[in-house]
């Protein structure tokens, strides 16, 4: 069954979400430069065209797992940016009461099972989410976002095999941005097209241009429908590129300015979606400006919320270690 093209309304929503990720993270980097956001900060800027169109197929009852580069997944799945910002600021109003920080934001209410500081930490969680959905017969699906680097860890193999043999409703999405921290993928992996690993697990492998949100939308739609029909997992590879460093402050000696510009000037997924919507008469200049202004206001409000929120009090230290209080 061909995937229906996204409605005008859906496209506008996707477009706004992509801006929300971009502007949220630009703000987070600024706040980091001011010393207000501390700890590691890995941005998704440039990769918005992956998570947003994929999550556009999901309901709050569906699950995703994420990575150390998790803000984009959170926003795409519908997390509240004020609580995200408060988490980055280490405040008690943050998603994790300030206990997690950038690498550990989760919102279980919208099925976001957590950013993860351990590369490949999400494979088991997504596979287990798929098992729970299958056992309940609920029609829910789980999407596992992971990097090209994560494909070199054991959990990739173990969990995709389990998901495949049990026909679990999981889509394994490789965000192949061609680098793992400072290491180019080709230096550490001969099969650089991760989708080509799918025959080893007996499941479909699909490769798509991750900078083209509509192509991702279509490919993800098929994979998610297949999972919902009970036909098992798909390995969906999105070729993409992060425009900023591995983390904020990365000197980026492993790639050239020209290479970065090549991607950010010519293949920016936000620009590509805008161009498509303009061509289709679905985005006027006013609407575009409106969307960006509204998102900018949300971000400003998020920072105000974070800054005016209290830090966790010392008694929080021993809470949440177990379901019961220790002390």
Both tokens of residue 43?
């941005």
- Kindly state the smallest distance separating residue 2's Cβ from other proteins, in Å: 37
Cβ count near 51 (within 10 Å) = 32
Residue 180 found at the interface with other proteins (CB under 8 A): yes
Phi, psi at 184, each rounded to 5°: -65, 140
Residue 22 found at the interface with ligand TPP (CB under 6 A): no
3-state secondary structure of 170: strand
Location of structure tokens 């996707």: 14
Among 50-58, 219-227, 273-281, 318-326, the segment contacting other proteins (CB under 8 A): 318-326
Location of structure tokens 């999400």: 122
Q: Which is nearer to Mg ion, 18 or 194 (CB)?
A: 194
**Are 228 and 6 contacting, i.e. CB atoms less than 8 angstroms apart?**
no
Which one of other proteins, ligand TPP, Mg ion, none interacts with residue 252, CB within 5 to 8 A by kind?
none
Which one of ligand TPP, Mg ion, other proteins, none interacts with residue 69, CB within 5 to 8 A by kind?
ligand TPP
**Are 311 and 251 contacting, i.e. CB atoms less than 8 angstroms apart?**
no
Mark residues 48-87: x for contact with ligand TPP by CB under 6 A, - for none. -------------------xxx------------------
Both tokens of residue 163?
């998901």
Give residues 146-205 in contact with Mg ion (rule: CB under 5 A).
Answer: 147-149, 177, 180
- Give the one residue of 63, 179, 217, 243 binding ligand TPP; rule: CB under 6 A: 179
Measured between alpha carbons, how far apart are the two ends of the chain, in Å?
56
Taking alpha carbons only, the member of 73, 171, 166, 167 closest to residue 126 is 171
Cβ count near 180 (within 10 Å) = 19
Residue 253 found at the interface with other proteins (CB under 8 A): yes
Using CB under 5 A, list all residues that contact Mg ion: 147-149, 177, 180
Using CB under 8 A, list all residues that contact other proteins: 38-40, 87, 90-92, 96, 98-101, 103-104, 116-121, 149-150, 152-154, 180-183, 187-189, 251, 253-254, 311-312, 314, 316-318, 321, 326
């Amino acid at each position: 069954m061909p995937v229906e093209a996204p409605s005008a309304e859906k496209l506008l929503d996707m477009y706004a979400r992509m801006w929300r990720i971009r502007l949220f993270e630009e703000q987070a980097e600024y706040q980091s430069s001011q010393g207000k956001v501390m700890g590691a900060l890995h941005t998704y800027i440039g990769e918005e065209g992956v998570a947003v169109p994929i999550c556009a197929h999901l309901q709050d009852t569906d699950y995703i797992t994420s990575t150390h580069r998790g803000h984009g997944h959170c926003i795409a799945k519908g997390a509240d940016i004020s609580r995200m910002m408060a988490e980055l600021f280490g405040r008690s109003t943050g998603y994790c009461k300030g206990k997690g920080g950038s690498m550990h934001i989760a919102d279980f209410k919208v099925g976001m099972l957590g950013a993860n500081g351990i590369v490949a930490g999400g494979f088991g969680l997504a596979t287990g989410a798929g098992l729970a959905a299958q056992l309940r017969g609920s029609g829910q699906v789980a999407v596992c976002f992971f990097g090209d680097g994560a494909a070199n860890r054991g959990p990739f193999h173990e969990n995709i095999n389990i998901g495949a043999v049990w026909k679990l409703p999981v889509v394994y999405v490789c965000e192949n941005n061609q680098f793992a921290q400072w290491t180019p993928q080709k230096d550490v992996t001969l099969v650089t097209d991760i989708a080509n690993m799918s025959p080893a697990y007996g499941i479909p492998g699909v490769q798509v241009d991750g900078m083209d949100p509509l192509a991702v939308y279509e490919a993800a739609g098929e994979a998610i429908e297949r999972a919902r029909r009970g036909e098992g997992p798909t390995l969906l590879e999105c070729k993409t590129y992060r425009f900023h460093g591995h983390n904020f402050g990365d000197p980026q000696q492993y790639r050239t300015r020209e290479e970065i510009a090549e991607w950010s000037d010519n293949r920016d997924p936000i620009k590509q979606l805008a161009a498509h919507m303009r061509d289709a008469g679905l985005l006027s200049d006013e609407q575009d400006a409106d969307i960006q202004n509204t998102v900018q206001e949300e971000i400003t409000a998020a920072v105000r919320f974070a800054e005016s929120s209290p830090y966790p009090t010392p008694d929080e230290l021993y809470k949440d270690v177990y379901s019961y209080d220790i002390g």
